[in-house]
A and B are shown apart, each in its own frame.
Chain A
Amino acid sequence: MGNILYFLARYNRIFIFVLLEITALSLVVSYHDAKRKTVFSFLNDITSRFDSKVSDIKYYFHLKSTNESLLAENARLRQNQPNAKWADTMRQVQIIDTTFKQKFTYQPAQVINNSTNVKNNYITIDAGTNKGVNSHMGVVSSNGIIGITRFSSGNYATVLSVLHKDFQVSAQILENDELGSVVWEGGSPDVVTLKDIPVHIILKKGWHVIVSQNSDAFPKGIPIGTIISFQTNGSEATYNVKVRLAASIRNVQKVYVINNILLDEKKALETKTLESNK
Protein backbone atom coordinates (compact mmCIF):
# COMPACT_ATOMS: atom_id res chain seq x y z
CA MET A 1 0.00 0.00 0.00
CA GLY A 2 2.76 2.38 1.01
CA ASN A 3 4.59 1.60 -2.19
CA ILE A 4 1.54 2.43 -4.29
CA LEU A 5 1.08 5.76 -2.53
CA TYR A 6 4.75 6.56 -3.02
CA PHE A 7 4.46 5.63 -6.69
CA LEU A 8 1.42 7.89 -7.12
CA ALA A 9 3.14 10.76 -5.35
CA ARG A 10 6.32 10.33 -7.37
CA TYR A 11 4.53 10.40 -10.73
CA ASN A 12 1.54 12.59 -9.82
CA ARG A 13 2.02 14.94 -12.75
CA ILE A 14 1.72 12.09 -15.25
CA PHE A 15 -1.43 10.80 -13.58
CA ILE A 16 -3.15 14.18 -13.52
CA PHE A 17 -2.11 14.80 -17.10
CA VAL A 18 -3.49 11.48 -18.32
CA LEU A 19 -6.69 11.88 -16.28
CA LEU A 20 -7.42 15.35 -17.66
CA GLU A 21 -6.60 14.34 -21.24
CA ILE A 22 -8.92 11.33 -21.02
CA THR A 23 -11.68 13.57 -19.65
CA ALA A 24 -11.19 15.99 -22.54
CA LEU A 25 -11.08 13.20 -25.14
CA SER A 26 -14.23 11.59 -23.77
CA LEU A 27 -15.94 14.97 -24.13
CA VAL A 28 -14.86 15.15 -27.77
CA VAL A 29 -16.00 11.61 -28.49
CA SER A 30 -19.33 11.86 -26.69
CA TYR A 31 -20.12 15.08 -28.54
CA HIS A 32 -19.26 13.50 -31.88
CA ASP A 33 -21.51 10.57 -30.98
CA ALA A 34 -24.41 13.04 -30.83
CA LYS A 35 -26.23 10.58 -28.61
CA ARG A 36 -25.55 12.30 -25.33
CA LYS A 37 -26.84 15.62 -26.50
CA THR A 38 -27.17 17.50 -23.27
CA VAL A 39 -23.49 17.75 -22.28
CA PHE A 40 -23.44 21.48 -22.08
CA SER A 41 -27.01 22.58 -22.56
CA PHE A 42 -27.26 24.09 -19.09
CA LEU A 43 -24.04 26.04 -19.59
CA ASN A 44 -25.03 27.06 -23.11
CA ASP A 45 -27.65 29.32 -21.58
CA ILE A 46 -24.93 31.32 -19.83
CA THR A 47 -22.58 31.63 -22.80
CA SER A 48 -25.48 32.38 -25.12
CA ARG A 49 -26.45 35.32 -22.94
CA PHE A 50 -22.96 36.79 -23.45
CA ASP A 51 -23.13 36.16 -27.19
CA SER A 52 -26.55 37.80 -27.39
CA LYS A 53 -25.13 41.01 -25.91
CA VAL A 54 -22.40 41.05 -28.58
CA SER A 55 -24.98 40.28 -31.24
CA ASP A 56 -27.19 43.18 -30.11
CA ILE A 57 -24.34 45.52 -31.01
CA LYS A 58 -23.53 43.82 -34.31
CA TYR A 59 -27.23 43.87 -35.24
CA TYR A 60 -27.18 47.67 -35.70
CA PHE A 61 -24.52 47.44 -38.38
CA HIS A 62 -26.74 45.17 -40.48
CA LEU A 63 -30.03 47.05 -40.04
CA LYS A 64 -30.03 48.31 -43.62
CA SER A 65 -29.59 44.96 -45.34
CA THR A 66 -31.97 43.25 -42.89
CA ASN A 67 -34.62 45.84 -43.72
CA GLU A 68 -34.09 45.38 -47.44
CA SER A 69 -34.51 41.61 -47.31
CA LEU A 70 -37.60 41.90 -45.11
CA LEU A 71 -39.10 44.45 -47.51
CA ALA A 72 -38.41 42.12 -50.43
CA GLU A 73 -40.11 39.30 -48.60
CA ASN A 74 -43.11 41.48 -47.77
CA ALA A 75 -43.43 42.42 -51.41
CA ARG A 76 -43.35 38.79 -52.43
CA LEU A 77 -45.98 37.85 -49.88
CA ARG A 78 -48.23 40.75 -50.87
CA GLN A 79 -48.12 39.58 -54.45
CA ASN A 80 -49.58 36.26 -53.33
CA GLN A 81 -52.43 37.83 -51.39
CA PRO A 82 -55.87 37.17 -52.92
CA ASN A 83 -56.43 40.92 -53.22
CA ALA A 84 -53.37 41.27 -55.46
CA LYS A 85 -54.93 38.98 -58.04
CA TRP A 86 -57.91 39.32 -60.27
CA ALA A 87 -60.46 36.72 -61.26
CA ASP A 88 -60.21 35.55 -64.84
CA THR A 89 -63.70 34.12 -64.88
CA MET A 90 -67.32 35.21 -64.83
CA ARG A 91 -68.50 32.45 -62.51
CA GLN A 92 -68.85 33.33 -58.90
CA VAL A 93 -69.04 30.33 -56.59
CA GLN A 94 -68.58 30.49 -52.89
CA ILE A 95 -66.60 27.57 -51.47
CA ILE A 96 -65.94 26.91 -47.83
CA ASP A 97 -62.42 25.56 -48.19
CA THR A 98 -61.58 22.70 -45.84
CA THR A 99 -58.96 21.14 -48.08
CA PHE A 100 -55.92 22.93 -46.68
CA LYS A 101 -54.79 22.49 -43.11
CA GLN A 102 -51.65 23.76 -41.53
CA LYS A 103 -48.63 21.44 -41.89
CA PHE A 104 -45.71 23.77 -41.21
CA THR A 105 -45.62 26.53 -38.61
CA TYR A 106 -43.03 29.33 -38.57
CA GLN A 107 -41.37 30.73 -35.46
CA PRO A 108 -39.32 33.91 -36.02
CA ALA A 109 -35.95 34.17 -34.24
CA GLN A 110 -32.90 36.38 -34.11
CA VAL A 111 -29.37 35.13 -34.82
CA ILE A 112 -27.14 35.88 -31.83
CA ASN A 113 -23.99 34.02 -32.79
CA ASN A 114 -22.76 32.80 -36.11
CA SER A 115 -19.62 31.31 -37.59
CA THR A 116 -18.72 30.66 -41.21
CA ASN A 117 -14.95 30.45 -40.97
CA VAL A 118 -14.36 26.92 -39.68
CA LYS A 119 -15.04 23.42 -40.98
CA ASN A 120 -18.13 22.81 -38.85
CA ASN A 121 -20.20 25.93 -38.47
CA TYR A 122 -22.95 26.60 -36.00
CA ILE A 123 -25.47 29.39 -35.52
CA THR A 124 -27.10 30.25 -32.19
CA ILE A 125 -30.62 31.70 -32.20
CA ASP A 126 -32.68 33.27 -29.42
CA ALA A 127 -35.62 30.87 -29.55
CA GLY A 128 -35.62 27.66 -27.51
CA THR A 129 -37.97 25.09 -26.07
CA ASN A 130 -40.01 27.90 -24.49
CA LYS A 131 -41.03 28.90 -28.02
CA GLY A 132 -41.47 25.34 -29.21
CA VAL A 133 -38.07 24.99 -30.87
CA ASN A 134 -36.68 21.45 -30.57
CA SER A 135 -33.90 19.61 -32.35
CA HIS A 136 -34.08 18.68 -36.06
CA MET A 137 -36.28 21.58 -37.15
CA GLY A 138 -35.57 23.46 -40.37
CA VAL A 139 -34.23 27.01 -40.20
CA VAL A 140 -34.67 29.43 -43.12
CA SER A 141 -34.15 33.13 -43.68
CA SER A 142 -36.31 35.29 -45.92
CA ASN A 143 -33.92 34.45 -48.78
CA GLY A 144 -33.49 30.71 -48.41
CA ILE A 145 -32.27 27.74 -46.44
CA ILE A 146 -29.97 28.26 -43.39
CA GLY A 147 -29.72 24.99 -41.45
CA ILE A 148 -31.28 22.56 -39.01
CA THR A 149 -31.59 23.02 -35.23
CA ARG A 150 -29.34 20.73 -33.22
CA PHE A 151 -29.73 21.35 -29.48
CA SER A 152 -32.14 23.63 -27.69
CA SER A 153 -32.21 24.96 -24.15
CA GLY A 154 -34.93 27.08 -22.55
CA ASN A 155 -34.32 30.32 -24.41
CA TYR A 156 -31.75 29.43 -27.05
CA ALA A 157 -31.07 26.86 -29.73
CA THR A 158 -28.00 25.97 -31.76
CA VAL A 159 -28.37 25.47 -35.49
CA LEU A 160 -26.24 23.14 -37.59
CA SER A 161 -25.66 25.52 -40.48
CA VAL A 162 -25.57 24.49 -44.13
CA LEU A 163 -21.82 25.01 -43.78
CA HIS A 164 -21.30 21.89 -41.61
CA LYS A 165 -19.90 18.60 -42.81
CA ASP A 166 -22.83 16.67 -41.29
CA PHE A 167 -25.48 18.81 -42.99
CA GLN A 168 -27.36 17.28 -45.90
CA VAL A 169 -30.69 18.20 -47.46
CA SER A 170 -32.71 16.56 -50.21
CA ALA A 171 -32.82 18.99 -53.13
CA GLN A 172 -34.45 19.36 -56.51
CA ILE A 173 -33.70 21.38 -59.61
CA LEU A 174 -36.72 23.60 -60.21
CA GLU A 175 -36.46 23.59 -64.01
CA ASN A 176 -36.34 19.81 -64.62
CA ASP A 177 -37.45 18.27 -61.30
CA GLU A 178 -34.21 16.27 -60.99
CA LEU A 179 -33.52 15.10 -57.41
CA GLY A 180 -30.18 15.22 -55.60
CA SER A 181 -28.71 16.13 -52.25
CA VAL A 182 -26.92 19.28 -51.16
CA VAL A 183 -23.79 19.18 -48.98
CA TRP A 184 -20.96 21.61 -48.17
CA GLU A 185 -17.43 20.49 -49.00
CA GLY A 186 -15.57 23.36 -47.37
CA GLY A 187 -14.08 26.38 -49.12
CA SER A 188 -16.21 29.41 -49.87
CA PRO A 189 -19.13 29.91 -47.44
CA ASP A 190 -21.34 31.01 -50.35
CA VAL A 191 -21.02 27.85 -52.46
CA VAL A 192 -22.42 24.36 -51.75
CA THR A 193 -22.33 21.16 -53.82
CA LEU A 194 -25.32 19.38 -55.35
CA LYS A 195 -24.66 15.65 -55.67
CA ASP A 196 -26.27 12.61 -57.32
CA ILE A 197 -27.37 14.31 -60.55
CA PRO A 198 -26.71 11.75 -63.37
CA VAL A 199 -24.50 12.93 -66.25
CA HIS A 200 -27.14 12.29 -68.94
CA ILE A 201 -29.32 15.08 -67.53
CA ILE A 202 -29.00 18.43 -69.29
CA LEU A 203 -28.10 21.29 -66.94
CA LYS A 204 -27.80 25.02 -67.42
CA LYS A 205 -26.09 27.68 -65.34
CA GLY A 206 -28.54 29.88 -63.46
CA TRP A 207 -31.09 27.14 -62.88
CA HIS A 208 -32.65 27.15 -59.43
CA VAL A 209 -32.13 24.52 -56.76
CA ILE A 210 -34.93 24.16 -54.19
CA VAL A 211 -35.79 21.84 -51.30
CA SER A 212 -37.53 18.69 -52.54
CA GLN A 213 -40.66 17.09 -51.15
CA ASN A 214 -38.56 14.33 -49.52
CA SER A 215 -37.28 16.66 -46.82
CA ASP A 216 -38.76 16.27 -43.35
CA ALA A 217 -37.59 19.55 -41.93
CA PHE A 218 -38.43 21.92 -44.78
CA PRO A 219 -41.52 22.51 -46.91
CA LYS A 220 -40.99 21.85 -50.62
CA GLY A 221 -39.80 24.81 -52.65
CA ILE A 222 -37.64 26.71 -50.13
CA PRO A 223 -34.85 28.19 -52.29
CA ILE A 224 -31.33 26.77 -51.79
CA GLY A 225 -29.50 28.61 -54.56
CA THR A 226 -28.62 28.83 -58.23
CA ILE A 227 -26.26 26.64 -60.29
CA ILE A 228 -22.98 28.40 -61.07
CA SER A 229 -20.98 25.52 -62.56
CA PHE A 230 -21.16 21.78 -63.17
CA GLN A 231 -18.58 19.23 -64.25
CA THR A 232 -18.04 15.48 -64.41
CA ASN A 233 -15.25 13.83 -62.50
CA GLY A 234 -13.67 11.47 -65.04
CA SER A 235 -15.47 8.16 -65.01
CA GLU A 236 -18.07 9.06 -62.41
CA ALA A 237 -21.70 8.77 -63.39
CA THR A 238 -22.83 11.91 -61.59
CA TYR A 239 -22.16 15.61 -61.92
CA ASN A 240 -20.35 17.74 -59.38
CA VAL A 241 -22.68 20.75 -59.39
CA LYS A 242 -21.66 23.96 -57.61
CA VAL A 243 -24.57 25.98 -56.24
CA ARG A 244 -24.41 29.58 -55.00
CA LEU A 245 -26.49 29.85 -51.83
CA ALA A 246 -29.56 32.07 -52.08
CA ALA A 247 -29.20 33.17 -48.44
CA SER A 248 -25.85 34.52 -47.31
CA ILE A 249 -25.09 32.62 -44.09
CA ARG A 250 -22.47 35.21 -43.15
CA ASN A 251 -24.88 38.12 -42.88
CA VAL A 252 -28.05 36.40 -41.73
CA GLN A 253 -29.84 38.20 -38.88
CA LYS A 254 -33.51 37.18 -38.88
CA VAL A 255 -34.53 33.56 -39.33
CA TYR A 256 -37.65 31.42 -39.11
CA VAL A 257 -37.69 28.02 -37.40
CA ILE A 258 -40.03 25.62 -39.20
CA ASN A 259 -42.02 23.09 -37.22
CA ASN A 260 -43.42 20.15 -39.18
CA ILE A 261 -46.61 19.30 -37.29
CA LEU A 262 -47.10 15.96 -39.04
CA LEU A 263 -43.49 14.80 -38.60
CA ASP A 264 -44.08 12.67 -35.49
CA GLU A 265 -46.92 10.84 -37.20
CA LYS A 266 -44.76 10.21 -40.28
CA LYS A 267 -41.79 9.00 -38.24
CA ALA A 268 -43.97 6.67 -36.16
CA LEU A 269 -45.44 5.14 -39.28
CA GLU A 270 -42.03 4.69 -40.89
CA THR A 271 -40.54 3.05 -37.78
CA LYS A 272 -43.52 0.72 -37.58
CA THR A 273 -43.01 -0.29 -41.21
CA LEU A 274 -39.30 -0.92 -40.68
CA GLU A 275 -39.95 -3.02 -37.59
CA SER A 276 -42.55 -5.14 -39.38
CA ASN A 277 -39.79 -6.17 -41.81
CA LYS A 278 -37.65 -7.68 -39.09
Chain B
Amino acid sequence: MSAFKTILYFFLLLLIQRIILDNLFIGEFERPFILFVFIIIIPTLPTWALLLIAFLAGLIYDIFNNTPGIHSFSSVLLAFLKDLSLPFLFDNEDEISLGISSKTFGFGRFLVIALVCSFIYNLSVILLTDFGITDVQDFATRLIFGTLSSTVLVYVFDILAFYRRKEAI
Protein backbone atom coordinates (compact mmCIF):
# COMPACT_ATOMS: atom_id res chain seq x y z
CA MET B 1 0.00 0.00 0.00
CA SER B 2 1.45 3.38 -0.99
CA ALA B 3 2.11 6.15 1.51
CA PHE B 4 -0.51 8.36 -0.11
CA LYS B 5 -3.16 5.66 0.17
CA THR B 6 -2.29 5.09 3.83
CA ILE B 7 -2.73 8.78 4.64
CA LEU B 8 -6.02 8.73 2.76
CA TYR B 9 -7.18 5.75 4.85
CA PHE B 10 -6.23 7.61 8.03
CA PHE B 11 -8.40 10.60 7.19
CA LEU B 12 -11.24 8.33 6.08
CA LEU B 13 -11.08 6.53 9.45
CA LEU B 14 -10.88 9.85 11.31
CA LEU B 15 -14.01 11.08 9.49
CA ILE B 16 -15.93 7.86 10.21
CA GLN B 17 -14.92 8.01 13.88
CA ARG B 18 -15.68 11.69 14.30
CA ILE B 19 -18.86 12.10 12.26
CA ILE B 20 -20.60 8.77 12.80
CA LEU B 21 -19.24 6.80 15.76
CA ASP B 22 -18.71 9.72 18.15
CA ASN B 23 -22.34 10.73 17.68
CA LEU B 24 -23.72 7.26 18.42
CA PHE B 25 -25.67 6.87 21.60
CA ILE B 26 -25.45 3.42 23.17
CA GLY B 27 -26.52 3.81 26.76
CA GLU B 28 -23.78 3.71 29.34
CA PHE B 29 -21.30 1.91 27.12
CA GLU B 30 -18.10 3.28 25.68
CA ARG B 31 -18.58 4.20 22.02
CA PRO B 32 -16.79 1.85 19.58
CA PHE B 33 -13.42 2.88 18.16
CA ILE B 34 -12.30 2.33 14.60
CA LEU B 35 -9.34 4.70 14.33
CA PHE B 36 -6.85 2.08 15.53
CA VAL B 37 -7.46 0.09 12.33
CA PHE B 38 -4.93 2.56 10.95
CA ILE B 39 -2.24 1.00 13.13
CA ILE B 40 -3.14 -2.47 11.85
CA ILE B 41 -3.18 -1.64 8.14
CA ILE B 42 -0.15 0.66 8.09
CA PRO B 43 2.61 -0.99 6.01
CA THR B 44 5.85 -2.17 7.57
CA LEU B 45 8.14 0.71 8.48
CA PRO B 46 11.24 1.22 10.62
CA THR B 47 10.21 0.96 14.27
CA TRP B 48 10.89 4.60 15.12
CA ALA B 49 8.78 5.82 12.18
CA LEU B 50 5.92 3.47 13.00
CA LEU B 51 5.83 4.56 16.66
CA LEU B 52 6.06 8.25 15.78
CA ILE B 53 3.25 7.99 13.21
CA ALA B 54 1.09 6.07 15.69
CA PHE B 55 1.71 8.77 18.30
CA LEU B 56 0.77 11.57 15.89
CA ALA B 57 -2.35 9.71 14.70
CA GLY B 58 -3.51 9.22 18.28
CA LEU B 59 -2.70 12.82 19.14
CA ILE B 60 -4.78 14.18 16.24
CA TYR B 61 -7.82 12.27 17.46
CA ASP B 62 -7.06 13.31 21.06
CA ILE B 63 -7.18 16.97 20.10
CA PHE B 64 -10.57 16.50 18.48
CA ASN B 65 -11.82 14.47 21.40
CA ASN B 66 -10.55 16.58 24.29
CA THR B 67 -8.68 13.62 25.79
CA PRO B 68 -4.99 14.56 25.46
CA GLY B 69 -2.68 11.58 25.80
CA ILE B 70 -5.21 8.76 26.07
CA HIS B 71 -5.40 7.73 22.42
CA SER B 72 -1.76 8.62 21.72
CA PHE B 73 -0.72 6.26 24.51
CA SER B 74 -2.97 3.45 23.27
CA SER B 75 -1.89 3.87 19.63
CA VAL B 76 1.82 3.75 20.48
CA LEU B 77 1.24 0.69 22.68
CA LEU B 78 -0.59 -1.12 19.89
CA ALA B 79 2.02 -0.13 17.31
CA PHE B 80 4.83 -1.36 19.53
CA LEU B 81 3.15 -4.70 20.16
CA LYS B 82 2.43 -5.06 16.44
CA ASP B 83 6.07 -4.38 15.64
CA LEU B 84 7.22 -6.96 18.18
CA SER B 85 4.85 -9.68 16.99
CA LEU B 86 5.25 -9.21 13.22
CA PRO B 87 8.04 -11.81 12.82
CA PHE B 88 5.86 -14.40 14.56
CA LEU B 89 2.74 -13.61 12.53
CA PHE B 90 4.26 -14.16 9.11
CA ASP B 91 5.82 -17.34 7.81
CA ASN B 92 8.32 -15.69 5.48
CA GLU B 93 9.80 -12.28 4.82
CA ASP B 94 7.95 -11.65 1.56
CA GLU B 95 4.51 -11.65 3.14
CA ILE B 96 5.40 -8.87 5.59
CA SER B 97 5.27 -6.20 2.88
CA LEU B 98 1.64 -7.11 2.13
CA GLY B 99 0.39 -5.80 5.48
CA ILE B 100 -2.19 -7.25 7.83
CA SER B 101 -5.64 -7.84 6.38
CA SER B 102 -8.08 -10.69 5.82
CA LYS B 103 -6.61 -10.92 2.33
CA THR B 104 -3.21 -12.06 3.60
CA PHE B 105 -4.33 -13.95 6.68
CA GLY B 106 -7.69 -15.45 5.82
CA PHE B 107 -10.82 -14.67 7.81
CA GLY B 108 -10.17 -16.93 10.78
CA ARG B 109 -6.69 -15.75 11.71
CA PHE B 110 -7.55 -12.13 10.96
CA LEU B 111 -10.49 -12.36 13.38
CA VAL B 112 -8.12 -13.40 16.17
CA ILE B 113 -5.76 -10.51 15.36
CA ALA B 114 -8.63 -7.99 15.23
CA LEU B 115 -9.98 -9.30 18.54
CA VAL B 116 -6.62 -9.07 20.31
CA CYS B 117 -5.87 -5.60 18.92
CA SER B 118 -9.25 -4.14 19.87
CA PHE B 119 -8.99 -5.74 23.33
CA ILE B 120 -5.59 -4.11 23.96
CA TYR B 121 -6.74 -0.75 22.61
CA ASN B 122 -10.02 -0.66 24.55
CA LEU B 123 -8.33 -1.84 27.74
CA SER B 124 -5.75 0.93 27.54
CA VAL B 125 -8.32 3.63 26.71
CA ILE B 126 -10.73 2.61 29.48
CA LEU B 127 -7.98 2.32 32.11
CA LEU B 128 -6.58 5.76 31.24
CA THR B 129 -10.04 7.37 31.09
CA ASP B 130 -11.00 6.11 34.55
CA PHE B 131 -7.51 6.39 36.04
CA GLY B 132 -7.69 2.82 37.38
CA ILE B 133 -10.52 0.39 38.11
CA THR B 134 -13.19 1.72 40.45
CA ASP B 135 -16.20 -0.45 39.63
CA VAL B 136 -15.24 -3.94 38.43
CA GLN B 137 -18.61 -4.83 36.89
CA ASP B 138 -18.89 -1.54 35.05
CA PHE B 139 -15.30 -1.88 33.88
CA ALA B 140 -15.88 -5.42 32.60
CA THR B 141 -19.07 -4.61 30.69
CA ARG B 142 -17.51 -1.61 29.03
CA LEU B 143 -14.38 -3.54 28.11
CA ILE B 144 -16.30 -6.49 26.66
CA PHE B 145 -18.75 -4.33 24.76
CA GLY B 146 -15.99 -2.04 23.48
CA THR B 147 -13.84 -4.95 22.35
CA LEU B 148 -16.66 -6.74 20.54
CA SER B 149 -18.08 -3.67 18.82
CA SER B 150 -14.62 -2.50 17.74
CA THR B 151 -13.83 -5.97 16.38
CA VAL B 152 -17.00 -5.98 14.30
CA LEU B 153 -16.09 -2.53 12.93
CA VAL B 154 -12.55 -3.62 12.08
CA TYR B 155 -13.94 -6.59 10.21
CA VAL B 156 -16.52 -4.58 8.30
CA PHE B 157 -13.94 -1.98 7.37
CA ASP B 158 -11.49 -4.65 6.25
CA ILE B 159 -14.07 -6.32 4.02
CA LEU B 160 -15.22 -3.02 2.49
CA ALA B 161 -11.69 -1.77 1.90
CA PHE B 162 -9.76 -4.85 0.85
CA TYR B 163 -11.93 -7.85 0.08
CA ARG B 164 -13.39 -6.71 -3.23
CA ARG B 165 -10.00 -5.99 -4.68
CA LYS B 166 -8.98 -9.60 -4.16
CA GLU B 167 -11.74 -10.76 -6.50
CA ALA B 168 -10.76 -8.17 -9.10
CA ILE B 169 -7.23 -9.48 -9.36
Chain A residues near B (Cβ < 8 Å): 12-13, 16-17, 20-21, 23-32, 39-40, 43-44, 47, 50-51, 54, 115-120, 122, 158, 186-189, 250
Q: What are the residues of chain B within 8 A of A120 when measuring CB–CB? A: 129
Known contacts A16-B52, A27-B72: A21-B64 contact under CB 8 Å: no
The contact sample of 30 A-B pairs, CB cut-off 8 A, is A13-B47, A13-B48, A13-B80, A13-B83, A17-B76, A17-B80, A20-B55, A20-B72, A21-B76, A23-B72, A24-B69, A24-B72, A24-B73, A27-B62, A27-B72, A28-B68, A30-B68, A31-B68, A31-B69, A40-B68, A44-B63, A47-B63, A117-B22, A117-B24, A117-B31, A119-B130, A120-B129, A158-B66, A187-B27, A187-B28
The smallest beta-carbon distance between A250 and chain B, in angstroms, is 7
The smallest beta-carbon distance between B125 and chain A, in angstroms, is 10
Q: What are the residues of chain B within 8 A of A50 when measuring CB–CB? A: 18, 64
Chain B residues near A (Cβ < 8 Å): 18-19, 22, 24-31, 47-48, 51-52, 55, 58, 62-64, 66-70, 72-73, 76-77, 80, 83, 128-131, 138
Q: What are the residues of chain A within 8 A of B25 when measuring CB–CB? A: 116-117, 189, 250
Q: Which of A16, A20, A40 counts the most chain B CB atoms within 10 A?
A: A20
Q: What are the residues of chain A within 8 A of B138 when measuring CB–CB? A: 186
Known contacts A31-B69, A39-B68, A117-B24: A23-B47 contact under CB 8 Å: no
Tell me the nearest residue of chain B to A15, going by C-beta.
B48
Q: What are the residues of chain B within 8 A of A13 when measuring CB–CB? A: 47-48, 51, 80, 83
The smallest beta-carbon distance between A119 and chain B, in angstroms, is 6
Q: Is the CB of B63 within 8 A of A32?
A: no
- In angstroms, Cα B128 to Cα A25, docked, is 9
Q: What are the residues of chain A within 8 A of B83 when measuring CB–CB? A: 13
- For the residues of A in contact with B, the DSSP-based class is helix
Inter-chain contact count A-B, CB under 8 Å?
A: 85
Q: Is the CB of A25 within 8 A of B73?
A: yes
Q: Is the CB of B63 within 8 A of A40?
A: yes
Q: Is the CB of B63 within 8 A of A117?
A: no
The smallest beta-carbon distance between A13 and chain B, in angstroms, is 4
Known contacts A16-B48, A186-B28, A187-B28: A25-B69 contact under CB 8 Å: yes
Q: Is the CB of B128 within 8 A of A28?
A: yes
The smallest beta-carbon distance between B68 and chain A, in angstroms, is 4
Q: What are the residues of chain B within 8 A of A47 when measuring CB–CB? A: 63-64
The smallest beta-carbon distance between A249 and chain B, in angstroms, is 11
- In angstroms, Cα B148 to Cα A205, docked, is 39
- In angstroms, Cα B25 to Cα A128, docked, is 28
Known contacts A13-B80, A118-B30: A43-B131 contact under CB 8 Å: no
Q: What are the residues of chain B within 8 A of A30 when measuring CB–CB? A: 68
Given B31, B63, B70, which contacts A28 in the complex, CB threshold below 8 Å?
Answer: B70
- In angstroms, Cα B70 to Cα A30, docked, is 12
Q: What are the residues of chain A within 8 A of B48 when measuring CB–CB? A: 12-13, 16
- In angstroms, Cα B62 to Cα A30, docked, is 14
The smallest beta-carbon distance between B30 and chain A, in angstroms, is 7
- In angstroms, Cα B28 to Cα A162, docked, is 15
Tell me the nearest residue of chain A to B135, going by C-beta.
A186
